[in-house]
Amino acid sequence: MAESPAPPPLPDTQALAAAVDRLAGVPVLVVGDVMLDHYLSGDAERISPEAPVPVVQVTGERHMLGGAGNVVRNIAALGGRPELVSVVGADGPGRAIQDLLGREGVSCHLVAEKNRKTTIKTRVIVRNQQMVRVDREDTAPLTGQSLAALESILREVAAGHGIVVVSDYGKGVVSESVMRVLRSLKEERGGGLTVLVDPKVVNTGLYTGVDLLTPNAKEAGEMAGIPAKGREGVIRAGLAIFKRLRCAQLCVTLGPEGMAVFTRPGSVLHVPTVARQVFDVTGAGDTVMAVLALALGAGMALPEASILANYAAGYVVGQVGTATVGPRELREALTTLRQPDVERWLEIQ
């Protein structure tokens, strides 16, 4: 593979900080699996006499939007105009999600399915460390009236958007029929609809022809059938994904190693992480997706959008729980966190 050691021309952090204002007001449609994040916090000072496990004395409890709802929260926090299309159960947690979206001022279209269980993730936090997570969920695919209602809402709502985020957590909302609706809308509008997907490996075959995929390294390796380890492994996995899905662009998040940005199959940049410390990675991928969607919607190119998203992720992983970043925090991160040494990993004309 031909390589070029020359770094790409990219804006400095001052220019990126000025670009943060451009994110405000950008409309983004989010379709996917919304969840209720439930946090129990407290202290653990003794071991249970019933089993060798710590006893947590709960001192705090809170509920937050999770999954696709966290993408929406991040978009709203940065001044964007999110709109959510999703499915909940006709139950208490489903109503709690509706209430939280109302408090956030988010326009939402939720299909409430009678026999469906709303996804709840309960995390127990002790001294800023997550000790255990308990999931309650229903991952059955949508069928019948629920699926028809979702497709109808999506087709109607998407007409007013140029950017769509598919937030797939594998809980049954994202399906072949939903992706077919988005593909048909792209065709009808002559490509005037940009579709970004935060993927789930089990649904890899659904993402053919999308504009941007954002898997993590593990997901990228599984989607490609090639271990995405190290520079060469990530590049080969990315090229295999392009060949399999014919997506336009790809951004592979690498955890503490930052992210690999494929602007096309023959052009790959590496953006190192800027995080100083990591308390909790919960929701960091949602933050990355939210910033990418807003930045692309504001007219930024993928390399610049990725660097901005990298700074946003560097901020949220330093917080405990599912955090968001606002314009002030993002500007502060751009001015206080170190500037990433962006490297060109691959360049083939």
- Catalytic hit among 135, 138, 286, 341: 286
Angle, in degrees to the nearest 10, between helices 302-316 and 327-336: 100
Question: How crowded is the C-beta side of 47, counted as CA atoms within 13 Å?
Answer: 4
CA atoms within 13 A on the CB side of 339: 13
Could you tell me where the DSSP H helices lie in the chain?
A: 13-19, 68-77, 92-104, 144-158, 176-188, 217-224, 230-245, 284-297, 302-316, 327-336
Q: Identify any residues that bridge with 39 across adjacent strands, giving them in sequence order.
A: 62, 123
Residue 22, Cβ density class (10 Å: 0-12 exposed, 13-18 middle, ≥19 buried): middle
Q: How far is CA 228 from the centre of its chain?
A: 19
Report the C-alpha gap between 123 and 102 in whole angstroms.
Answer: 23
Respond yes or no: is residue 286 known to be catalytic.
yes
Any idea which residues carry the catalytic annotation? 286
